[in-house]
Amino acid sequence: MSFSTYLAADLGASSGRVVAGHFDGSQIRLDEVHRFENGPVRVGDRLHWDILRQWVSIQDGLRAASTRFAGQIQSVGVDTWGVDFGLIGPGNELLGNPVHYRDARTSGILERAFQIVPREEIFAETGLQFMEFNTAFQLLAMRLAGSPQLDVAESLLMMPDLFHWFLTGIRSNELTNSSTTHLYNPKTGTWSDRLIERLGFPLGIFGTITEPGTKLGPLAAHVASDTHLSGVDVVLPGSHDTASAVLAVPAASQPSATPNWCYISSGTWSLMGVEAPAPVVTDPCLAMNFTNEGGVGGTTRLLKNIAGLWLVQECRRVWQQQGHRYSWDDLVRMAAAAKPLAGCIDPDDPRLLAPDDMPATIATLCRESGFAEPNSHGQIIRIALESLAMRYRQVLEMLEELIGGRLETIHIVGGGSQNQLLSQMTADATGRRVLTGPVEATAIGNVMMQALAAGEVGSIAEAREVIRRSFDVIEYTPHATNRWDTMAGA
């Protein structure tokens, strides 16, 4: 059987990989070709991404793929997280390592921004959730600190745009990642020149916004030579990882003003929302601090960012430093054996963004909320997971208010969908049917957008049909919901 192979370079906050997607016209199959570590690097008082190491790792993955799948590879595309960026100066020089979104330079920046442009005006222009690490506020922090980079920059490229530039030599601003900057107007589909000028940024660094599915160009000659890939195009996927993950949600219904399903893209972050046909830039949306980000196929991702399994990841890291070598399965077993609903915290408390000691911070927040401090590692993890499930319940209720209808099904995709305990907690807390999978949603969405660009798939709906045929889902039904109602004060 003949098939086409598409390569997805998928970078997350803690790891990255190059994945090969093989499509035979009916089903898609994934092969992980290369996996590598990712994470912040502290230099002085600044937290950076090590972009050159990331680039070397991507090339290693492309080289490995060319060896395994010679002659089959059609194209490659890169997706990453949002908000972070690099600036390109004269002579095609990258002006420093991109700064990590958890860096402290934007602490307190929202108040400074609102002194320049009121909160309501910023939201009217962008429809975006206010988070102090969004691109606009990183740039404002740079300007207020007198950074010389903005004076000489020619282009601003988001993280996946940087890698697409490395691959081709072509600068682009892909739509879905551009929409996370707090400088994009979702109603016009263009940069908000008015907001850019009000905040004092140079207009010239913002290039033409390019749709996902665009064939950017062939691999640059030196990249093709170094990776042994010839005749391979670079295609823009939904380069924001959540945009690719949402494409991979195996739902049958089409985008609607009143959808009946929502998604949680679950990993380090939990991105919970609906796929809407148009942005929802309203006073209630502002009050609830939801975001309107660009999706694939002209859709809008109406969603809220929630601090996801970062809480568990950081607990595990701290305990490893103390000599406790817990596996992920160990943590889930310990949590399952702990007392249910013994405490609840706000997972989006700013103190959880980058604490030195996550377990101690969770214990402090429990005490401040009137609960007993957790007395075991398993209890800490259970409280973290139950707090996420309770937060999903709150966000679900807000989503239903914004769209004016009931959401019957919650699709959980991404790595976090493997956490069966959290999935059941989510069903119990929300009283909704939960469907989990596919696990590799971001890579799948990346690959399927490339197949769309190649004409092997005719539409987003057809792509989702392929995904439903190719991957299993697990269903969770709610039970013991009354205990969650009591916790929520319902």
Cα–Cα distances (Å) from 132 to 103, 106, 115, 155, 301, in that order, read 11, 6, 14, 22, 20
Tokens of 51: 């972009």
* The amino acid at 51: I
What are the backbone angles phi and psi of residue 455, rounded to the nearest 5°?
Answer: 80, 10
Q: What are phi and psi of 255, to 5 degrees?
A: -55, 135
Sheet strand arrangement including 261-266: 291-294, 300-307, 269-276, 261-266, 409-413, 433-436, 474-476
Task: Give yes or no: 241 in active site.
Answer: yes
Residue that the structure tokens 């929409």 belong to = 179
CA–CA distance, 213 with 206 (Å, rounded to integer): 20
Residues forming a β-bridge with 303: 273, 291
Residue with tokens 């997350």, as numbered in its chain: 12
CA 352 – CA 311 distance, rounded (Å)? 7
SS3 54: helix
Please identify which of the residues 226, 241, 329, 346 carries the catalytic annotation: 241
Q: Please give the positions annotated as active site.
A: 241
